């Protein structure tokens, strides 16, 4: 009468496998590994996959993962130097031509008109290089593209650094792409070369 009962108990109990090496701790007993039955392993694997999938969905759907930005174009109008294209001959002229070719004639920095609401300090500037777009006897035009975040606000000023070896006369700068419409900055001023003076020029927007 006891044999059937004993047979059921043995089949229900988990299988024990001795490890090849005993643990160093303990009283010299041999460590054993508890092996789960096949259905239990399938269930645990299935539940693990579901957990990972749910975490991936949350990561993709979490708010604030992408930040919106505006595309702002700066158009800089420069008065050609006296004598036109052949006014300069030498090493500096060649270096300036290279700067034009690689699109690094002017370094522009947008300055926000608003302060950071969290710190009360000025917001960080947004930098970009202006490249030569067109040229004629009366005007040379340079353009620069900025990616401006929504939290930047309106531009209040712009820093200008002349990458040429000779000063240039800036007529005006137009910023187009802000929510409030185009912003015009009247310069009508000479901008020195950064090789003569590393300090940048600043021009403020017209209100």
Can you give the pLDDT of all 207 residues of the chain as single tens digits? 444 444 444 444 444 444 444 444 444 444 444 444 445 545 544 443 333 333 333 333 334 445 678 899 999 999 987 654 444 545 455 555 556 665 678 999 999 999 988 888 999 999 999 999 998 988 999 999 999 998 898 899 999 999 988 899 999 999 999 888 899 999 999 999 999 999 999 999 875
Q: Would you state the pLDDT for residue 205?
A: 87
Burial class, 158, CB count within 10 angstroms (exposed 0-12 / middle 13-18 / buried 19+): buried
> Is the pTM of the predicted complex or chain greater than 0.85?
no
Pairwise CA distance, residues 186 & 177, whole Å: 18
Q: Would you state the pLDDT for residue 85?
A: 47
DSSP 123: P
Pairwise CA distance, residues 51 & 167, whole Å: 64
Q: Would you state the pLDDT for residue 169?
A: 95
Q: Would you state the pLDDT for residue 52?
A: 33
Nearest to 106 by CA among 74, 81, 80: 74
Burial class, 207, CB count within 10 angstroms (exposed 0-12 / middle 13-18 / buried 19+): exposed
Q: Would you state the pLDDT for residue 124?
A: 92
Nearest to 205 by CA among 173, 157, 154, 171: 157
Q: Spell 56-76 as b/e; 16+ CB within 10 A means b.
A: eeeeeeeeeeeeeeeebebbb
Pairwise CA distance, residues 27 & 194, whole Å: 80
Pairwise CA distance, residues 187 & 173, whole Å: 7
Angle at 154 between CA 168 and CA 173, to 5 degrees: 20
Q: Would you state the pLDDT for residue 180?
A: 84
Q: Give the start-to-end residue ranges of the domains of the chain.
A: 15-61, 69-204
Pairwise CA distance, residues 69 & 203, whole Å: 24
69-204 has which fold?
Lipoxygenase-1 (2.60.60)
């Amino acid at each position: 009468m006891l044999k059937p009962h004993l047979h059921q108990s043995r089949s229900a109990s988990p299988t024990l496998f001795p490890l090849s090496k005993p643990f160093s701790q303990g009283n010299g007993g041999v460590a054993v590994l508890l092996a789960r039955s096949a259905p239990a392993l399938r269930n645990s694997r299935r539940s693990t996959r579901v957990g990972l999938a749910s975490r991936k969905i949350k990561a993709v759907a979490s708010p604030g993962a992408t930040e919106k930005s505006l595309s702002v174009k700066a158009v800089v109008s420069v008065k050609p130097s006296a004598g036109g294209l052949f006014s300069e001959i030498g090493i500096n002229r060649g270096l300036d031509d290279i700067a034009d070719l690689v699109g690094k004639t002017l370094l522009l920095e947008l300055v926000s008109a608003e302060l950071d609401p969290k710190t009360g300090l000025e917001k960080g500037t947004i930098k970009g290089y202006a490249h030569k777009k067109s040229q004629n006897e009366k005007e040379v035009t340079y353009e620069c593209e900025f990616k401006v975040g929504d939290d930047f606000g309106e531009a209040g000023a712009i820093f200008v650094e002349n990458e040429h070896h000779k000063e240039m006369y800036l007529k005006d700068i137009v910023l187009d792409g802000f929510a409030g419409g185009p912003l015009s900055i009247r310069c009508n001023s000479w901008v020195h070369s950064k090789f003569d003076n590393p300090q940048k020029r600043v021009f403020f927007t017209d209100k």
